[in-house]
Structure 1
Amino acid sequence: MDIIVTIIYIVLFIILMVFVFSIGMLRPFMPKKEMALVLVVAFFIGALGGAFFLSPIYSDMPEITSSIDKMMPGNEETLYLDLSSSTDINKLKSDLSQIDGFKSFEETGITIPLWKFSDSEYEYFNYAVGNVDSHFTNYTVNKTDGSIYIALDNYSSSEALKSFADWYKLVFDGPISYAQIHAKIVISSSALDQVEESLLAKGIVASSIDGSVQTGLNNTNSSMLSNNEFILVCGGVGLVVGILGLFFDSFVVGKRRFDRFLRTKKKR
């Protein structure tokens, strides 16, 4: 929300509270039985003002928090990507490296979907994959969905895919038509919006994000009240302001008596 609109909404809510306070100050001129009605009206006005003026601002709190985190120097974000094997990884890395705040791009692994394995096929792949390439030291064969995940350690996805595809063609006489490449990008928090826009322009959305901004968003979202709860709180604020207005004269008189008591005590 625009900062000017935010200020206007807050001022309008304050004006409503001044109106509620003014109604409460009319207590000397109203029957006592109408005091309850004043409190009901105060709660209603507070809730209405909260729903129309403060609720939109409150809903933007996660965005405000993330904006502050993005401006903090030293904050970093890690974006995890799941890319198609048809993606030009070198061009993607080159384009992202041109963005101010880019720190690193790392290919972390590949997933090769095959078919749902039988027990014997599962045992075979568990044994064979590690012998396909000396770099395949960390891999997982998923029996349920029939996929093979191979972690990349100082090894590019293109080299790993070529090595596996050559072995697969030799053994099963078929091509590997598709694979998924997993990558990790580390950037400054200030570059998050620009990096996400650059990825989106290529049809890529991060599967997950870790870092100061995401942590702040998660913490803010988890601690926020629901919209209805927030409106009730605003109604409570209106109720308190109404009570202050109703008993303002009593507060003033009490304060004057207390001050007079203190002055008299000092003279003694």
Structure 2
Amino acid sequence: MMVFVFSIGMLRQYMPKREILLVLAVAFLIGSIGGAFFLQPIYQELPNMASVVEQSMPNNEETLYLDLSSSVDTNQLRSELSGMEGFKSFDETSITIPMWHFNEMERDYFESIVGNINTNYKNYNITEDKIVIELEKNFTSSDALKSFSDWYKLVYGETISYAQIHAVLVIDSTQLDEFEHALLQKGIVASDIDGPVHDSLNKTNSTMLGNIEFTLVCGVVGVIVAVIGIYMDSVVPAYRRFRKFMNKKRKR
């Protein structure tokens, strides 16, 4: 398409001068159409291409943050993931227990008592309608939920059977696609990913032009190509004279 635009520009000598603006307008239109329909799909693949380079680098690691339902058997999940090539570690870091909307007195009560329920509660945070409990290493989410549920039944006469489990999966970057596929088969999608592959993807996306901007840039390129074609008859002789002048200067 740029060859066609260039050819139109070279026909300038056979056109009235007032037609040059029409040539530039057509060049912009053709450049924009070419950019939108032919170059943009390739341009949009640049982040994936950049991430593939990072993914192929040895010793790179990706950290996947998982939010799981308490109905998920985390022991089985850990066993299956640990059997895959590229597995580094799988840790359950915390649980979130949904509650009712606390009033000030209820919130103060939970603030004072939760830390005494189990010594394996590393830390905890009470919000207006949920309790987030951080877990000590090697203390599972099911144990944390059971201990809290047992205490809750003793105090309130009811059981709590649901919580959201937060886990961290560390893998080799080269196996990221395989792990994402394995998790997706179980209906699990990472809430966040941290690592060179994901960082490269985000960095490339943040520096890329939007669809409209990219189309306009392609249109401008079309105009530049047309201008080169328009003035080619002047540029080529000038370039030849310049090269001849430089050759004479070197001989001296």
Place the TM-score, normalised by the shorter chain, in its bin. over 0.9
| Residue 120 (structure 1) aligned with residue 141 (structure 2) | no
Between the aligned partners of 2:243 and 2:90, the Cα distance in structure 1 is 69
Q: Which blocks of at least 5 consecutive residues in structure 1 are unaligned? A: 1-15
Q: Does 1:176 pair with 2:160?
A: yes
Out of 211, 223, 226, the position equivalent to 1:242 is 226
2:175 maps to: 191
Asked whether 1:47 is paired with 2:46, we answer no
% same residue: 58
2:92 match: 107
Structure 2 runs not aligned, ≥5 long: none
- State the shift of 1:266 in Å: 5.5
The number of residue pairs the alignment matches comes to 251
| 217, 222, 227: which one aligns with 2:201 | 217
- Partner residue, 1:162: 146
Which shifted more, 225-234 or 133-142? 133-142
Q: Please report how far the alpha carbon of residue 183 of structure 1 lies from its aligned counterpart in structure 2 after TM superposition.
A: 0.4
1:13-35 deviation per Cα after TM superposition (whole angstroms, max 9, x unaligned): xxx11111122122232222222
Q: Distance in 2 between matches of 1:207 and 1:44?
A: 42
Closer/same/farther in 2, CA of residues 72 and 137 from structure 1, 3 Å limit: closer
Q: Which residue does the alignment assign to 1:80?
A: 65
Structure-2 change in CA distance of 1:199 and 1:266 (3 Å): closer
SS in 1 for 2:121: coil
Question: Which of 163-172 and 179-188 deviates more?
Answer: 163-172
C-alpha distance after superposition, 1:144-185 (max 9, x if no partner) = 22x111111121112212211111111111111211111000
Instruction: Output the CA distance in 1 between the equivalents of 2:96 and 2:250.
Output: 84
Cα distance change on mapping 1:105 and 1:266 into 2, 3 Å: closer
Contact 2:149 2:161 in 1 (8 A): no
Amino acid at match of 2:190: A
- Mapping of residues 132-151 of structure 1, within 5 Å: 132-142=117-127, 144-145=128-129, 147-151=130-134
- Give the equivalent residue in structure 1 for 2:18: 33
SS in 2 for 1:181: strand
Corresponding residue SS for 2:209: coil
Task: Give, in whole Å, the separation in 2 of the partners of 1:246 and 1:94.
Answer: 69
**Secondary structure at 1:108's aligned position in 2?**
strand
**Which residue number corresponds to residue 5 of structure 2?**
20
Deviations 1:112-165 (Å, cap 9, x if unpaired)? Answer: 1121112111111111111111122411111x22x1111111211122122111
RMSD of Structure 2 on Structure 1 (CA): 1.6
Distance of aligned partners of 1:132 and 1:17 in 2 relative to their CA distance in 1, 3 Å threshold? same
For residue 91 of structure 1, report the CA deviation from its aligned partner.
Answer: 0.8
Rounded to whole Å, the distance in 1 between the matches of 2:40 and 2:243 is 41
The change in CA–CA distance for 1:170 and 1:262 in structure 2 (over 3 A counts) is: closer
CA distance in 1, matches of 2:244, 2:158: 99
Aligned to 2:192: 208
Range 206-215 or range 28-37, more displaced:
28-37
Q: TM-score normalized by structure 2?
A: 0.94
